[in-house]
Structure 1
Amino acid sequence: MHSHDLIEYLVMVTERDGSDLHLSAGAPPMARIHGSLVPLTDDILDGTDTRELVLNVLKESQRAALEHNWELDFAVHVENLGRFRGNACYVLGRIEANFRYIPDFIPQLSDLGHGATVEGFTRLREGLVLVTGVSGSGKTTTLCSITQAIANERAANIVSIEDPIEFVFTHGERSLIRQRQVGSDTQTFAQAMRSALRQDADVIVVSELRDLETMRTAITAAETGHLVISTLHTTEATATMTRIFDAFPEEQQDYVAAQLANCLRGVVCQHLLPRIDAPGRALATEVMTMNSGMARCIRDRRFAQMPGLIQVGGPHGMHTIDDSLLMLLNNGYIGLESALSHCRDQNFIHTQHERELRARADMAKKKR
């Protein structure tokens, strides 16, 4: 039995600096706090509890959709707290759900831990920018931070296509933002993107490139003078390219390679790691930008060479995930185990970190 309503559970999550609430029959309500699952209360929920907690926050049309499709994406707004992205589904005939916290405010890129290169993406006028990472790595937050920064900084007609809408944008002094939700404002991502091309859009934001048609339309829009920003579930720049090309039939891949070499402007791959210096998680990134060498690499589909080009691409604003992890490790933000579990080259991390420790030890001796 449960002794709280859903809103009370959601408040508990935010008070403990959590990101997610999980409601499952046979278990207490669970929160993900700094990456770890912990019980919120001693309440053990049964199927009746989870059904009641979820259905009480759904509209009649949403309840019907859940009954018909057996799963549902939706959003819940809690006054003075923020929005929660909800996903409900049937598990062994019972309704269970997850809720992801979306704060009312959109953080700035610098507050998230991004540097000048990612901030520079906000000044692009055309091309394709991709934010990638696993679920829970902060892709949506970065995507929305880039979008709001564009709206605040310049005159732009921005169309954002989302499933569901999470952060709510505000118009800038010289900008317009239209937020459209798949399933209620449009049938599909691709359909909404084609409409955006006829709506005088300067910037098209797509919450995720989920399928071939959405990818195709995004690339075409980026090629025709629009700035397109979206996300993918990949963990590094090389995997991002492979993921896109694998979605297309083999006979189309040479053409897609030429398109991407022409229109891709940047990829930021991100990971969130537990901090050891304070509560919370630290952002580690791999950032790829375009130069002539990277364009040739993509055009020729020589993706195995991309890490090397990123490694020497510092003058063009690039850095590898290992560079980012090493900086966090040397500054005492993350532990060695976390760095090694997310890096590409463990020997590099070990060698460079030991060199840093020796240099600090030598400096301490000189001071004595």
Structure 2
Amino acid sequence: MLAATTVKELRFSELYLGHETLDDRFSETPGADVNILSAGPALRRDLDLLLAMCRDALAAVSNSQRCRVLYDGVPYHVSVMRTTGGTVFVLRRIAGTIPSLSSLGIPDAYLRRLQVRDMSGLFIISGPSKSGKTTTACALIKQRLQAFGGLAVTGEELIELPLEGHHGTGVCYQTTIGGQLSFREGWNNLMRSGAQIIFVDEIRDEESAAAVLRASMEGRLIITTIPADSAIQAIIKLDALAAERLAPASVKTLMADGLAGVLHQRLGRDGKQPLMTETLFLRDALRTRSILRDGAYDQLAVDIKQQMAAMISSYEPARRVLA
């Protein structure tokens, strides 16, 4: 039986509540085994109260399988699985603050490329499910606003992190897309905002893929996430989705001319930081842009390896000089 007497004390990555016949379960870290939640009387009462709040929150949100609840001072992201045996609520804690990129484990050698003032185009953060892609995206937006000022606007299906507000001389507004507001309506609102940075929380379909690619040529920085197992796979996935709406040749041209870069990340084996990362930046990368234009994506592996090695080797001498 677990020693925790409240949900707040319980350590978990995902919490599974509400099935009518199966035990509640939890996993301690992303990708870890899912264990039976053996709760004592006090913890069980707290879990039941949280479950009731999840049901009420879901009932208040029409046409959605996701919601957010605040229980005992802790915010949770809640998604719904409608199984043959009943509804299961899957909960994840939402961080109360946005960390810095360096504290997430992004190597210092890569941070300089992420902080180039005139960075524009489409920047993708990819990774497996639950690898912290949205956290990294929000950290990048916050850090760029602090460094350079300006305006950022987000379009998120469910707002998870507290990014809205002032960051240095910059400011961010968070908005929702989906539910009662269609993606097209929400996207048009983002494009009319005048923001220098636009964040779309995830490329889910051909409509969003085509939209971000078109916008990549308009001089703004468009940041988004894609579930993928590598940087190359993220590019291939974006191509495949966008080609459902745009001519294949146009997709490759937009990728070659509009892609700013890809940051791929995944958690270590124990589900903890630091992140394991690979990057691809397109600034001054003529060979890489040519590969994208030709659609020869398998050749990008060489460029990624060489570019990362060059960033690390150039960073080490600079660090020694500063020291």
Q: Counterparts of 1:215-230 in structure 2 under 5 Å?
A: 215-230=209-224
Q: Alpha carbons of 1:51 and 1:299: their partners in 2 closer, same or farther (altered >3 Å)?
A: farther
For 1:187 and 1:85, locate their aligned partners in 2 and report how far apart those are by CA, in whole Å.
20
Matching residue of 1:106: 98
Match of 2:59 among 56, 63, 73: 63
CA contact 2:166–2:172 (8 Å) conserved in 1? yes
Structure 1 residue ranges without an equivalent (≥5): 320-368
Does residue 200 of structure 1 match 2:194?
yes
The 5 A counterparts of 1:218-367 are: 218-247=212-241, 248-249=243-244, 252-275=247-270, 280-290=272-282, 291-314=285-308, 317=311
> How far apart, in 1, do the equivalents of 2:194 and 2:71 lie?
34
Query: Kindly tell me: are residues 133 and 318 of structure 1, through their superposed partners in 2, closer, same or farther at Cα, counting changes over 3 Å?
Result: farther
C-alpha RMSD of matched pairs (Å): 2.9
Inter-CA distance 58–155: structure 2 relative to 1 (3 Å threshold): farther
Q: Structure 1 pair 180/309, CA: closer, same or farther in 2 (3 Å)?
A: same
User: How many angstroms apart in 1 are the aligned matches of 2:249 and 2:49?
Assistant: 52
What CA distance in whole angstroms lies between the structure 1 residues aligned with 2:14 and 2:147? 32
Matched, 1:87 2:82: no
CA spacing shift, 1:215–1:251, aligned 2, 3 Å: closer
After superposing on structure 2, the runs of 4+ consecutive aligned residues of structure 1 that deviate more than 6 Å are 49-52
- Aligned position for 1:20: 14
3-state SS of the aligned residue for 1:312? Answer: helix
CA shift in 2, pair 1:183/1:295, >3 Å: closer
Matching of residue 164 in structure 1 with residue 161 in structure 2: no
Change over 3 Å in CA distance of 1:195–1:318 after alignment to 2: farther
Please state how far the C-alpha of 1:177 moved relative to its aligned partner.
1.0
Name whichever structure is richer in helix by fraction.
1
In structure 2, stretches of 5+ residues that fail to align are 314-323
**Per the alignment, do residues 171 and 282 of structure 1 end up closer, same or farther by CA in structure 2, a change over 3 Å counting?**
same
What is the Cα deviation at residue 203 of structure 1?
0.4
**Structure 2: how far apart are the matches of 1:59 and 1:225?**
43
Q: Which amino acid in 2 is paired with 1:113?
A: G
SS at match of 1:208: coil
2:210 aligned counterpart, secondary structure: helix
Question: Is the contact made by 1:271 and 1:283 (CA closer than 8 Å) also made in structure 2?
Answer: yes
> Bigger radius of gyration, 1 or 2?
1
- Paired with 2:151 and 2:77, the residues of 1 have a C-alpha distance of 26
Q: Is the 8 A contact 1:163 1:181 kept in 2?
A: yes
Aligned residue runs from structure 1 range 68-217, under 5 A? 69=63, 72-78=65-71, 80-81=73-74, 83-92=75-84, 94-115=86-107, 116-118=109-111, 120-123=113-116, 124-169=118-163, 170-183=165-178, 187-217=181-211
CA offsets 1:19-73 (integer angstroms, 9 cap, x no match)? 22111523443222133233443469xxxx999753434557x41656xx5x620
> Does 2:38 match 1:41?
yes
Contact 1:73–1:88 under 8 Å retained in 2? yes
Partner of 1:324: none
Task: Return closer, same or farther for 1:220/1:317 CA change in 2, 3 Å cut-off.
Answer: farther
Equivalent of residue 29 in structure 1, options 19, 24, 28: 24
CA contact (8 A) 2:80 2:87 kept: yes
Report if aligned partners of 1:289, 1:316 keep a CA contact under 8 Å in 2: no
Greater shift after overlay, 190-199 or 124-133? 190-199
- Contact kept, 8 Å, 2:206 with 2:244, in 1: the verdict is no
| Counterpart Cα distance in 1 of 2:154 and 2:16 | 28
C-alpha change, 1:29 and 1:151, in structure 2 (3 Å) is farther
- How many residue pairs were aligned? 297
Identity of counterpart residues, as a percentage? 23
1:111: how far off? Answer: 0.7
- Determine if contact 1:287/1:317 at 8 Å carries over to the other structure: no
Q: What do residues 106-152 of structure 1 show as CA deviations (whole Å, max 9, x unaligned)?
A: 11111111023245324344111101111111111111111111222
Amino acid at match of 1:177: C
TM-score normalised to the size of structure 1? Answer: 0.72
